[in-house]
Amino acid sequence: MIVPLALAGASPAAASDALELSGFVKPTFSAVLRPSALPREQLKVGLASSAAGLTFQGQPLEQWRYKVFFVVGSQTFPALVSARVVDTDNDGAVDRVETSSSGALGDIVRETSVSWVPSSGFRIRTGRMPVPFTSAAQSADVALLFPDRAGPNDLFLADDDLGALIEAGAIGGEVAMKTGVFNGSGTGASGSERGVLYLARFDLQPLGAFSFDETNPLRTEPRVGIGAGLIWHPYRAFDGVGFPRLQINDLRGSVSLRLGLAGLTLSLEGLHRYQFDSLTARPIVASGAYVQGGWRLPSAVEPIGRLGWAAEDRSFAPRTTLWTEGGINIYPAFGNEDESLRDNVRMSFVYQGEHRLTEGESAHGAVASLILGF
């Protein structure tokens, strides 16, 4: 089974191999219908969401671990390679700008971190890594219930970040605390802004250790996870000549509840953002929530469903979006004799609906995804 490097698994004792290699390949076919778009944009069909990931990790020295995780998507972004202005009527005014682009790969590094693990319940990790602000952000890409994370989750924290994280666990993994500092690029702050992002995350699993994997093998004992995360990102924005213009405080909070029993998983997560500054008297307020569930049947079939909601720009012009998703996961290798390999192949067939309630537009998507882990 593919799992993220869990705190409980980071042993300080015996040095293991200097290199462990794992990864996944995820071809994904998607079709998105947006009826009110321009005809060219109304139907998008293809393998644009396909990806492959490769993880190098190991413990070359006692108490020291590393992890390098690359994800390469099939979709390139159009990088501008030339631009020229066009004056079609020779009146001296620019009528349009002609550009040409070439496909380019985006950032493929998801994690490059070094960990110091002096004891089984304590770890200091530094480098580039996912910010563990939500429970979904702590799930490995291959352990998600759906092909992608919930829409509200991406809205509140979209990217990985550079920083340092202290992780501590107690009582056999039933209590986990994380606190760290990051540079804040994952929250959308630009290069002319300076500040440090502070993170705190607390998870309580009163019935025993409960992995952040969103899919649930056929475990019979119940599991409960309660968590909360808080991000505080104070930073200064500077003008073009290098003087400070304003001080910004960006606060984001999350609460989560996870339940697992006999193949049934249920996750609820609520998110809130409040950003204010010293100049504008115009706070940025947004809220979001989602609930998702899946039921792993003994036949290796898992019906899944998810409902997401987000309200942006709540302080001046509220804009509400609703996501409705449902489908099925199939685990073809579930009959494998090696229990650890049973989840390494998963097929997903999902309907994804995005309903922009304020603007009055809906989009409907169908996704067929295959994940093969190794």
Partner 1 sequence: MPALALLLASGCASTLAPGEWGTFRYFGDILGEPPMRLLPPLTDRDGNIYALYGDLGRADTQVFVGRINGGWSGGCSAHRGIYGLHGFVGRSQDRVWYWSGDALVEVDGQTGACNQILRDDPVSGTELSFLGIAPYIDETPSRRFTYALVQGGTGEPQFLMVDLDKALPFNVVPFPEELRDIAVLGTGAWVAERSSVFLVNWDSEIAAFFVDRFGQIQATVGVNLPPNPQPYTILGYLEFSDSGVGVGVMSTGGVFVLTLQGGGAVDVPFTVGGVLRWGGEVYVTGTDGDEPVIAPVTPGGEIADAVPFTSSITASHTLDRKITVNDERGDPARARSWEAPRTAIGEHPLISPWPLDAYTLWSTGWLVAGPNFDSGVEPVTAVAFAPVGLEVP
Q: Which residues bind partner 1 (CB under 8 A)?
A: 34, 36-38, 41, 198, 200, 230-232, 237, 239-241, 243, 245-246, 249, 251, 253, 274, 276-277, 279-283, 313, 315-317, 356, 359-361, 363
Q: What is the DSSP letter of 88?
A: T
Q: How many of the other CB atoms lie within 10 Å of CB of 338?
A: 9
Closest CB to partner 1 among residues 219, 236: 236
Q: Least distance to partner 1 from the beta carbon of 309, Å?
A: 17
What element of type H or E holds 86?
Answer: strand 77-86
Q: Least distance to partner 1 from the beta carbon of 204, Å?
A: 17
Closest CB to partner 1 among residues 17, 41: 41
List, in sequence order, the alpha helices (H) in 48-194. Answer: 151-156
Q: Least distance to partner 1 from the beta carbon of 191, Å?
A: 13
> Which of 87, 109, 105 is CA-nearest to residue 96?
87
Q: What is the DSSP letter of 141?
A: G
Q: Least distance to partner 1 from the beta carbon of 130, Å?
A: 20
Closest CB to partner 1 among residues 253, 332: 253
Q: Least distance to partner 1 from the beta carbon of 109, Å?
A: 28
Residues 69-87 as b or e (16 or more Cβ within 10 Å = b): bbbebeeeeeeeeeeeeee
Closest CB to partner 1 among residues 139, 321: 321
CA–CA gap between residue 271 and residue 254 (Å, rounded): 4
Closest CB to partner 1 among residues 112, 320: 320
CA–CA gap between residue 60 and residue 87 (Å, rounded): 62
What element of type H or E holds 272?
Answer: strand 264-277
Closest CB to partner 1 among residues 18, 158: 158
Closest CB to partner 1 among residues 44, 219: 44
CA–CA gap between residue 149 and residue 201 (Å, rounded): 19
Q: What is the DSSP letter of 154?
A: H
Closest CB to partner 1 among residues 213, 250: 250
Q: Least distance to partner 1 from the beta carbon of 245, Å?
A: 4
Q: Least distance to partner 1 from the beta carbon of 354, Å?
A: 8
CA–CA gap between residue 5 and residue 239 (Å, rounded): 42
Closest CB to partner 1 among residues 122, 274: 274
Q: What is the DSSP letter of 39?
A: H
The residues with which 246 forms a beta bridge, in sequence order, are 237
Closest CB to partner 1 among residues 90, 220: 90
What is the CA 8 to chain-centroid distance, rounded? 22
Which tokens is 324 given?
């409705």
Number of residues assigned to the chain:
374
Q: Least distance to partner 1 from the beta carbon of 40, Å?
A: 10
Q: Least distance to partner 1 from the beta carbon of 190, Å?
A: 9
CA angle 318, 358, 288 (to 5 degrees): 55
CA–CA gap between residue 145 and residue 300 (Å, rounded): 14
Q: Least distance to partner 1 from the beta carbon of 223, Å?
A: 27
Q: What is the secondary structure of 155-194 as a DSSP string?
A: HH--S-EEEEEEEEEETTTTEEEEEEEE-SGGGT--TTEE
